[in-house]
Amino acid sequence: MTPFEELIQRIKSLRDPQTGCPWDIEQTHASLTPYFLEEVHEFLDALERHGPSSAKTWEELGDVLFQVALHAELLSEKGHTDLAQVARRLAEKIVERHPHVFDPTAPRYGSADEVNRAWERLKSQRKAASGAPAPNLFERLDEIPRSLPALQRAARMGEKAASFGFDWPNAEEVRPKILEEFQEWTEAQTQGEEREREELGDLLFAIAQYCRLKKWTPESLLHGASDKFLGRMQGLQSLLDEQGLRWETESLESLEAFYQQAKARKPRGKH
């Protein structure tokens, strides 16, 4: 058997009602959802921590594939499809979505932005050819999953709007919008918590668009800031340990002083 066929057979064995694993047998699409999301995040974490050459990273990617295969087996048991058909349809979709790669007569593109705009046009053309009305901007935005991390969803909304020509010309043009939203958030602090929350959300949305136009991933930037804070707190803890001190006995002013020392010890952006 090929590795692909062996994987399918092992999944079927796990789900066998008589000889399979009790845990795997009782799983449903709904019960597997949190595990699927967790495995994806564990893979991404391993990729960042250990790099693409690490066996740990490969193992975590295998766990993601296990979740995919298990969901496919659940579909197969209901007679809907199977993993081979899912893979076959994926291969077809890759060709359909990349005529600039697989069709020698199709135009070529010089940037990812050009590809994205061309793909949106292609989708609209195919919808029109099928007799369905071309999707409008709202419908495109509504397709973006609400389950995405909020900053990522905001950036994706900006991408979709840009494909319809509704966007800032460049990142620098977003700066005044960020300052405007910051001012509105500042003023909202005297207008009640609900209004303040709303304006803070608007500020975060504008920042996400700035990141998008700079080709930065807002999620990665925030993770970087969190990692930097984590490193400084590690340094703070080391300073306390060196002097035999404890968090509980130190004042906020003392802890802040140690924090500044820890900050000075580490290069900016490192942890």
CATH assignment at residue 174: 1.10.287.1080
pTM: 0.68
Residue 161 has pLDDT above 90, yes or no: yes
Q: Are residues 181 and 143 in the same domain?
A: yes
Same domain, 10 and 88: yes
Q: Is the pLDDT of residue 134 over 80?
A: no
Domain membership of residue 113 (yes or no) is no
Write down which residue in 68, 96, 124 finishes a domain.
96
Residue 120 reports pLDDT greater than 80: no
Residue 210 amino acid letter: Y
Residue 136 has pLDDT above 90, yes or no: no
CA 267, CA 14: separation in Å to the nearest integer? 50
Domain span at residue 253 reads: 219-265
248 shares its domain with 182: no
Whether the pLDDT of residue 133 is over 80: the answer is no
Same domain, 204 and 257: no
- In this structure, is residue 224 part of a structural domain? yes
Question: Average of pLDDT values for 226-245?
Answer: 93
164/242 same-domain check? no
177/140 same-domain check:
yes
d(CA 85, CA 164): 33
Structurally, the chain folds into a number of domains equal to 3
Averaged over 102-130, what is the pLDDT? 85
Question: Beta-carbon neighbour count of residue 154 at 10 Å?
Answer: 21
pLDDT of residue 270: 46
The reply to whether 237 and 212 lie within a common domain is no
Same domain, 229 and 195: no
86 and 36 in one domain?
A: yes
